[in-house]
Amino acid sequence: MTSRAPIIQLRDVTKTYGAGSTAFRALNGIDLDIKAGEFVAIMGSSGSGKSTLMNILGCLDSPTSGRYLFAGCAVEGLSKEQRALIRRHYLGFVFQGYNLLARTSALENVELPLLYRGMSRGERREQARRALDAVGLLPWRHHASNELSGGQQQRVAVARAIATSPRVLFADEPTGNLDTKVSREVMELITDLNRTQGITAVMVTHEPEMAGYADRIVTVVDGTIASDSRRRGDGVESEVA
Amino acid sequence: MLWNALTIAVREIRRNLLRGFLTVLGVVIGVAAVVIMVSLGQGATESVTSQVESLGSNLIMAIPGTGVGPSGGSAPGFRLSDAEEIAAGVSGVRAVAPLRMVGAKAVYLQEDWSTQAVGTTVDYFSVAGWAFAEGRPFTEAEFVGARPVCVLGNTVVSELFGQQDPVGARIRLKGLTCEVVGVLAAKGQGAMGQDQDSVVVLPLSTVQRRLAGRLGDRDVDRMMISARDGVSADRVVRDVTDVLRDRRGIRAGEDDDFSVLDTKEIADALSSTTKILTYLLGAVAAVSLLVGGIGIMNIMLVSVTERTREIGLRMSIGALPREVLLQFLVEALVLSLIGGLVGIVLALVVSYVLAQAMGIPYIIDPRINLVAFAFSAAVGVVFGYAPARRAARLDPIEALRFE
User: Angle at CA B107, nearest 5°, toward B101 and B112?
Assistant: 95
**Same domain assignment for residues B146 and B183:** yes
**Residue B226 φ/ψ region, left for φ over 0, alpha for ψ in the -120 to 50 degree band, beta for the rest:** beta
**Same domain assignment for residues B147 and B232:** yes
User: Angle at CA B203, nearest 5°, toward B202 and B205?
Assistant: 130
Q: Which residues in chain A have Cβ-Cβ distances shorter than 8 Å to B321?
A: 80-81, 84
- The answer to whether the beta carbons of residues B312 and B392 sit under 8 Å apart is no
Q: Tell me the DSSP string of B39-107.
A: HHHHHHHHHHHHHHHHT-TTEEEEEES-SSSGGGTTS--B-HHHHHHHHHH-TTEEEEEEEEEEEEEEE
CATH 3.40.50.300 fits A38-46+80-230, yes or no: yes
Q: Which residues of B286-322 are buried (b: 16+ CB within 10 A; e: fewer)?
A: bebbeebbebbbebbbebbeebbbbbbbbbbbbbbbe
User: Angle at CA B266, nearest 5°, toward B262 and B270?
Assistant: 170
**Same domain assignment for residues B191 and B43:** no
- The answer to whether the beta carbons of residues A125 and A115 sit under 8 Å apart is no
Looking at residue B17, its pLDDT comes to 86
Q: How does pLDDT run along chain A (241 residues), one tens digit per residue?
A: 444 679 999 999 999 998 888 889 999 999 999 999 999 999 998 889 999 999 999 999 999 999 999 998 999 989 999 999 999 999 999 999 889 988 889 999 999 999 888 888 899 999 999 999 999 999 999 999 999 999 999 999 999 999 999 999 999 999 988 999 999 999 999 999 999 988 999 999 989 999 999 999 999 999 999 999 987 555 444 444 4
Which of A17, A110, A112 has the most B C-beta neighbours within 10 Å, making it the best mutation to test the interface with B? A112
Going by C-alpha positions, the residue among B179, B167, B158 that lies closest to residue B135 is: B167
Burial of A204 (0-12, 13-18, 19+ CB in 10 A): buried
- The answer to whether the beta carbons of residues B72 and B58 sit under 8 Å apart is no
Q: Residue B241 sits in which domain range?
A: 76-256
pLDDT tens digits, residue range B87-105? 888 888 989 999 998 888 9
**Same domain assignment for residues B208 and B351:** no
**Same domain assignment for residues B388 and B277:** yes
pLDDT tens digits, residue range B265-289? 777 788 888 888 888 888 888 888 8
Kindly report the nearest CA distance between residue B39 and chain A, in angstroms: 41
Q: Which residues contact B373 (CB under 8 A, 6 or more apart)?
A: B31, B337, B340, B341, B344
- The answer to whether the beta carbons of residues A178 and A95 sit under 8 Å apart is no
Q: B256, B280, B304: which is the final residue of a domain? A: B256
**Same domain assignment for residues B231 and B105:** yes
Q: Which residue of B has its CA nearest to A118?
A: B4
Looking at residue B268, its pLDDT comes to 79
Choice among A27-31, A71-75, B203-207, B253-257 with the minimum mean pLDDT: B253-257
Q: How many CB atoms lie within 10 A of CB A117?
A: 16
Looking at residue B72, its pLDDT comes to 47
**Same domain assignment for residues B273 and B371:** yes
Q: Which residue of A has its CA nearest to B3?
A: A118
With a pLDDT cut of 90, the percent of chain B lying above it is 31
Query: Cβ separation of A103 and B317 shorter than 8 Å?
Result: no
Which of A88, A89, A145, A204 has the most B C-beta neighbours within 10 Å, making it the best mutation to test the interface with B? A88
pLDDT tens digits, residue range B305-344? 988 999 999 999 999 999 999 989 998 898 889 999 999 9
Kindly report the nearest CA distance between residue B357 and chain A, in angstroms: 45
Given CB atoms, is A108 within the 8 Å cutoff of chain B?
Answer: yes
Is residue B245 in some structural domain? yes
Mean pLDDT throughout B182-199?
A: 80
Q: Does the pLDDT at position B296 exceed 70?
A: yes
Given CB atoms, is B81 within the 8 Å cutoff of chain A?
Answer: no
Q: Which residues of B7-34 are buried (b: 16+ CB within 10 A; e: fewer)?
A: bbbebbbebbeebbeebbbbbbbbbbbb
Is residue B311 in some structural domain? yes
- Give the A window 37-96 contacts with B, CB below 8 Å: 55, 58, 60-61, 80-81, 84-85, 87-89, 91-93, 95
- Torsions phi, psi for B229 (to 5 deg): -60, 140
Q: B225, B256, B287: which is the final residue of a domain? A: B256
Q: How many CB atoms lie within 10 A of CB B93?
A: 22
Query: Cβ separation of B15 and A160 shorter than 8 Å?
Result: no
**Same domain assignment for residues B224 and B320:** no
Looking at residue B57, its pLDDT comes to 60
Burial of B60 (0-12, 13-18, 19+ CB in 10 A): buried
Looking at residue A133, its pLDDT comes to 93
Q: Does the pLDDT at position B375 exceed 60?
A: yes
Kindly report the nearest CA distance between residue A128 and chain B, in angstroms: 15
Query: Cβ separation of A93 and B317 shorter than 8 Å?
Result: yes
Q: How far apart are CA A131 and CA A50, in angstroms?
A: 28
Is residue B59 in some structural domain? no
Looking at residue B215, its pLDDT comes to 64
Strand B199-203 and strand B149-152: the pairing is antiparallel
**Same domain assignment for residues B294 and B322:** yes
Q: Which residue of B has its CA nearest to A86?
A: B318
- Give the B window 164-183 contacts with A, CB below 8 Å: none
Q: How far apart are CA B317 and CA A69, in angstroms?
A: 20
Q: Which residues of B154-185 are buried (b: 16+ CB within 10 A; e: fewer)?
A: bbbbebbbeeeebbeeebebeebebebbbbbe
Count up the domains in chain B and report the number. 2
**Same domain assignment for residues B88 and B209:** yes
pLDDT tens digits, residue range B136-176? 999 999 999 989 999 999 999 999 998 889 999 999 998 89
**Same domain assignment for residues B37 and B88:** no
Q: How far apart are CA A53 and CA A13, in angstroms?
A: 9
Q: Does the pLDDT at position B184 exceed 80?
A: yes
Q: Does the pLDDT at position B54 exceed 70?
A: no
Q: How far apart are CA A136 and CA A130, in angstroms?
A: 10
Mean pLDDT throughout B109-133?
A: 90
Looking at residue B71, its pLDDT comes to 47
Q: Which residue of B has its CA nearest to A161?
A: B317
Looking at residue B68, its pLDDT comes to 53
Looking at residue A241, its pLDDT comes to 42
Q: How does the average pLDDT of chain B come out, rounded?
A: 86
Q: Which residues in chain B have Cβ-Cβ distances shorter than 8 Å to A113?
A: 317-318
Q: How far apart are CA A39 and CA A16, in angstroms?
A: 28
Is residue B64 in some structural domain? no
Choice among A111-125, A139-153, B22-36, B215-229 with the minimum mean pLDDT: B215-229
Looking at residue B67, its pLDDT comes to 63
Mean pLDDT throughout B200-213?
A: 87
Mean pLDDT throughout B184-194?
A: 74
Which of A115, A154, A162 has the most B C-beta neighbours within 10 Å, making it the best mutation to test the interface with B? A115
ipTM of the complex: 0.89
Q: Does the pLDDT at position B192 exceed 70?
A: no
Q: Of the candidates B1, B397, B400, which has its C-beta nearest A99's C-beta?
A: B400
Burial of B360 (0-12, 13-18, 19+ CB in 10 A): buried
**Same domain assignment for residues B231 and B113:** yes
Is residue B325 in some structural domain? yes
Q: B209, B233, B256: which is the final residue of a domain? A: B256
Q: Does the pLDDT at position B109 exceed 60?
A: yes
Q: How far apart are CA B159 and CA A188, in angstroms?
A: 92
- The answer to whether the beta carbons of residues B122 and B139 sit under 8 Å apart is yes
Looking at residue A237, its pLDDT comes to 44
SS3 for B256? coil
